[in-house]
Amino acid sequence: MLLQVLPHFDAEPFLLDYERCSTWELIGRSCGQRMPRGVADDLQASTLASYRHAAFETGASLIDVRPTLCPENACRTTIAGEPLYLNGGHISVSASHLLAPEMTDALRASRFSASGTSVAAD
């Protein structure tokens, strides 16, 4: 199982740098970035293609969480005031909680398809 690369906010004009935020922005959780999904995909096109190729060559399932992190075709560093990134490329605990059901479902599906039978959760 592979996790497709996440949108990164580590370069201008979409740089996520909390040190540039005012105290009021940090307190109000309004310090963040937004990037059109198409731009994120274009910036990471070769990496996205590499992951798809690796999954195809190895028979691994590929989990793409971009639809969750980029609702309405806009990748954001916050959703409902909760920060999704610790910095430009690493997700936060809030993002981990947001993605947990999707990851759990993918892991369960992977366990089922790998063995051909359902495996009880531990």
Model confidence over 79-91: pLDDT tens digits? 888 889 988 888 9
What's the pLDDT at 5?
Answer: 85
Tell me which amino acid residue 109 is.
Answer: A
- Is-contact 95 69, C-beta < 8 A? yes
- Cβ partners under 8 Å of residue 48, min gap 6: 4, 5, 41
Dump pLDDT digits (tens) for 68-77. 999 999 999 9
Q: What are phi and psi of 76, to 5 degrees?
A: -130, 155
Per-residue tokens: 113: 């398809």
Whole-number average pLDDT of the chain:
84
What's the pTM value of the predicted model, to 2 decimals? 0.76
Per-residue tokens: 82: 């909760």
